[in-house]
A and B are shown apart, each in its own frame.
Chain A
Amino acid sequence: MRTFPGGVHPFEGKSYTEKKKIEKLPRPKQVTIPLQQHIGAPTKPLVEKGQEVKAGEKLAEAEGYVSVPVHASVSGKVKALEDIDHPVAGRGPAVIIEAGETEEWIETIKIDEKYQDLSSDEMRKRIQDAGLAGLGGATFPTHVKLKPPEDKKIDVALLNGVECEPYLTADHRLMLEYPADIIRGFRIIMKILGVKRGIIGIEKNKKDAAEVMKKQIAGEGDMEVMVLPVKYPQGAEKQLIKAALDREVPSGGLPMDIGAVVQNVGTAKAIYDAVSSCRPLTERVVTVTGPGIKEPKNLLIPIGTHYQDIIDFCGGLTEKAAKIIMGGPMMGIAQPNLKVPVIKGTSGILVLEGKQAHLPFEEPCINCGRCVEVCPSHLLPTTLQRLVYHERFEEAGKLHLMDCIECGSCSYICPANRYLVQSIRHGKRQLLRLRKKAG
């Protein structure tokens, strides 16, 4: 089977939730909706304190092209506009909405039977208006990714159903339960890009999803399902393209440089909802899982719901719960408390127990070379760490520090428990700052 070079095989942990159907979380009493949930320009708030809002109403307007609006996920009253603990950015502004008695939605959401006749620009407009950003976790504005510059010839679209992060099963369940919506969304993606080849990449540990998707595309001659071996980080864009097409995204470049565009399966479904019925992105599927949670589940959760409400719905934390992570164990972000909200990029809430969460002591590097072997970017993690420790950022840059995709395979595999990717991450930030300063 085809795959990419490097990578690791962490404990999969998918059995906690892979058989559990997506449940709808009961409507929360209060939501906290951060104004920035995507990568790109910030948004400008449109509401004021005390104002009544409907579900689906725009709370903040996109400022600039690489930006998307945010919408109310419940109807009710704006309680406050204030800085909150942001799950990704540390701190950030948010709109806090107190949910009203009854759920009232905006009227513009309705099925448009003729959505397929829309032009690419009209489709993209709907996608931007719906506030879509990559739901795989990177949250790059979707409409931007679907409008490559004129000089980039795109010949293939990839649908990412790899879900290589351990524990997460949200995409897996989506493929099993909403295959038609996903494929319609993928059709829209292919139409916008004008490509005649669509590949759906799924790892072998989700055979049932691959079967369902294969059935779904029967009769669609230009789509194929590609089953890939299980290996992390195969869901990373560059690695998926390498595995499926054997093309390498140039160092410092983007998938579009080699004619490919990748979208996550969850994003494809949201694209279908946005284009076919003008439905804004106000909820997403989240895998709530891990040994530290009493009843792991896959949940459909309104954006802005606090972790506490979700964890309560899942039976609460276990005694030994010690670390709450947004996303998976390899690239997820540890959260400071349970007041943080779900945002567009929250693919999972993972709770680890004390022993797993324990931070190991860093031992001397014995030069075993395992990090070099597993690095999907073919970097030298131990050398880069040494340079970063000595603050020789420019030298590290010459050894392609910036090519690190921060997948964490090096730290995962290191028998000396060295904080390799963590150092490299720090080095990348420092190098960027230095380069900015130098102009």
Chain B
Amino acid sequence: MSDAPEKLLLSSSSPHVRDSDSIPKIMWTVNIAMIPALIMAFYFFGPKALWIIFLAVASAVLTEGIIYKLAKQPARIQDGSAVITGVLLAFNLPASAPWWMPVVGSVFAIAIVKALFGGLGNNILNPALAARAFLLASWPVEMTASWVAPREGTISGINGITSATPLNLLKQSAKIIASPESFEPSQVQAAQNAIANLSSTYTNLLIGNVGGCIGETSVIALLIGALIMFYRHAISWHIPFTYIGTVALFSWIFGGSEGLFTGNWIFHILSGGLILGAFYMATDMVSSPVSHKGQMIFGMGCGILTVTIRIWGGYPEGVSYAIILMNLAVPLIDRYTIPRVFGEVRTK
């Protein structure tokens, strides 16, 4: 009967079967999840947005390819992680950014933040966010001064006051109200109106009809993508929910101009890059804690830092820096959240 095909018999240590999920599947899921936001970016900011995304992705992938070549390692471009970095970086740039900004940012993200620290899986910071921070520190004017108005309506979503983004509006209005004597009465009036009418901006915030970075404005599109990622297990709820929950709590407590517990937390959640950051960047597996407990601490830390920067910091927006700072704390969090081993009795 059947001769033993001895040379065919494979031998290895168990387990002999593997789950079918893989790194490329996870990464491409994230890429697909960003498509709704990409479409909204095109709708509100026009072809310029697509051009910037293209430049960022192309430079990220090219940089990664060259580095693998130089390092004489098998190319791993098809895993899609460089594409994510490119898209996320572009999502964090204003549509008015000059062409070289996404290029410089992507090269920095891939070459410095990712490759120099050991490549895929070894970067300490989220590459796209670190690159954004680098660009913001190096070219603050290009990064913030010239927001492109979305196709319809004003930049901020509220008529009567000129300001770049919803959060900028909030910050400036708060400043005006805090020291009304140094401003004209009409400005003070406008600021008070703006604060009072924050809730009128909700619809615009949800669909993304406000000023801001390319990919951060449309809350609905970002949430659709988040659902895709949940469904495909590319992210878990722990980081985004604790992050957003913490922002809601702390902006409600400290975010109001009329004392504690008067802040408009809905506005804080919907505006700025919080949704993008909480679902797409803080959840980056490589630069977040490994255990669920650690992830929840990480999320809360991001939330506290975001609100701190938004309310008391120099910038109107705090998501990027909050996540980067918490990225740095990940090894520490991991060290203090080692799970209790099954059957272990903690004596101390």
Contacts and interface: CB of A to CB of B under 8 A. Distances in A.
Grouping DSSP codes into helix (H, G, I), strand (E, B) and loop, the B interface class, with mixed when no group exceeds half, is loop
Contact of B5 (A10, A317, A329, A413): A317
Contact of A372 (B8, B15, B21, B291): B291
Contacts of A378: 339-342
A321 interface: yes
A204 interface: no
B13 A425 contact: yes
B119 interface: yes
A352 B8 CA distance: 12
Nearest to A11: B17
B25 interface: yes
Nearest to B26: A415
Nearest to A360: B18
B9 interface: yes
A312 interface: yes
B23 A411 contact: no
A356 B10 contact: no
A250 B14 CA distance: 26
Given A249-B343, A250-B343, A366 B4 contact: no
Interface string B242-268: 000000000000000000000000000
A10 B11 CA distance: 20
A242 B338 CA distance: 21
Contacts of A5: 342
> Interface size for chain B: under 10, 10 to 19, 20 to 34, or 35 or more residues?
35 or more
A399 B338 contact: yes
A77 interface: no
B186 interface: no
B15 to A, nearest CB: 3
Nearest to A6: B342
Nearest to B290: A369
A337 B2 CA distance: 13
B286 A367 contact: yes
Contacts of B11: 323, 334-336
Interface residues of A, number: 71
Interface in A298-324: 308, 311-312, 316-317, 321-324
B175 interface: no
A131 interface: no
A238 interface: yes
Contacts of A363: 23, 76, 120
Contacts of A367: 121, 285-288, 290
A379 interface: yes
A400 B340 CA distance: 10
A310 to B, nearest CB: 11
A161 interface: no
Contacts of B292: 369, 373
Given A336-B11, A337-B9, A380-B339, A330 B17 contact: yes
A423 B339 CA distance: 20
Interface in B259-308: 285-292, 295
Contacts, number: 167
Contacts of B119: 364
Contacts of B179: none
B9 A316 contact: no
A403 B341 contact: yes
A33 to B, nearest CB: 21
Given A366-B121, A372-B291, A10 B19 contact: yes
Nearest to A316: B2
A334 B10 contact: yes
A130 to B, nearest CB: 29
Contact of B338 (A311, A330, A380, A411): A380
Contacts of A249: 343
Contact of A366 (B2, B6, B286, B344): B286
A356 B15 contact: no
Interface in A263-317: 308, 311-312, 316-317
Interface string A330-349: 11111111110000000000
Interface string B312-348: 0000000000000000000000000011111111000
A325 B16 contact: yes
B12 interface: yes
Contacts of B22: 415-417
B327 to A, nearest CB: 12
A379 B341 contact: yes
B17 A377 contact: no
Contact of B23 (A10, A376, A415): A415
Contacts of B21: 413, 415
A251 interface: yes
Nearest to B339: A378
Nearest to B6: A337
B122 interface: yes
A373 B340 CA distance: 13
Interface in B16-68: 16-19, 21-23, 25-26
B1 interface: yes
B2 A317 contact: yes
A123 interface: no
A380 B290 contact: yes
A222 to B, nearest CB: 27
A372 B339 contact: yes
A19 to B, nearest CB: 22
Interface in A17-49: none
A166 B341 contact: no
A251 B341 contact: yes
A368 B120 CA distance: 12
Contact of A253 (B25, B341, B343): B343
Given A330-B14, A367-B287, A369-B289, 15 more contacts: A249-B343, A250-B343, A253-B343, A317-B2, A322-B10, A330-B16, A337-B4, A356-B16, A367-B286, A372-B339, A377-B342, A379-B339, A379-B341, A380-B338, A419-B13
17 contacts: A10-B17, A166-B17, A251-B343, A251-B345, A312-B2, A322-B8, A322-B10, A337-B4, A364-B119, A364-B122, A366-B121, A367-B285, A372-B291, A412-B17, A416-B22, A421-B13, A421-B15
Interface of A: 5, 8, 10-11, 166, 238, 242, 248-253, 308, 311-312, 316-317, 321-325, 329-339, 350, 352, 356-357, 359-360, 363-369, 372-373, 376-380, 382, 399-400, 403, 406, 408, 411-417, 419, 421-422, 425
Interface of B: 1-2, 4-6, 8-19, 21-23, 25-26, 76, 119-122, 285-292, 295, 338-345
